[in-house]
Amino acid sequence: MTSWKTHYDALVGAMKLGSPPHESRMHPRFEMSEGVEMRVQLGGEHPSVHNISAGGMSLYTKNPIAGGSSVALTLENAIRVHSEVVYCSPDGTKKADGGHLYQVGLKFLIEDDGYRVAVLAMETCGGKVSEVTV
C-alpha cells in the first residue's frame, strides 16, 4: 500500500515542482482553476476553495471564523479533515445579500490528511491547476 506522501511526491515530481523558496512555506500551493471545484462542507456551508497545499488550504466563506478555532471539513462528501484556522479576513467581495465574503486560512492538523487533500486536489483538477505558487 502506497502512502499519501509517496503519491503526493510522485505527482509533484511529475509536475516538475521544486521546493518552495520561502522558509515559511513548506509545500507548493495549488491555486484552483476557474470552473474546477472541490466539494467542501464546513458546518452547513459549502465554501469555495481558493488554494490548497499539503499543509493547509484557503477558503472563501460567508461568515467569519475566529483564528485558532478547530474546524472539521468534509471533502468530496467522504473525507473528514481536521484543521485549525490560521487567519480570517474580509476579502472585499460583496455577497448577494450585501454582506462580505471572508478568506479563511486553515492548517491541517494531521500531516497525512494534508498529503491526501493535496493529492485529491491535483487529481480533481486533472491538470487544470491554474497556478502553482512555490
Residue range 61-115, pLDDT digits in tens: 888 889 999 988 877 767 788 899 999 998 766 666 666 688 999 999 999 988 9
Which domains, and CATH codes, for the chain?
Answer: 4-133 (2.40.10.220)
Per-residue confidence (pLDDT) for residue 132, from 0 to 100: 41
Contact criterion met (CB below 8 Å) for 86 and 106: yes
Strand-by-strand arrangement of the 40-41 sheet: 40-41, 70-75, 79-94, 100-108, 56-61, 48-52, 29-31, 131-133
pLDDT over 60 at 22, yes or no:
no
Residue range 87-100, pLDDT digits in tens: 999 876 666 666 66
pLDDT over 70 at 24, yes or no:
no
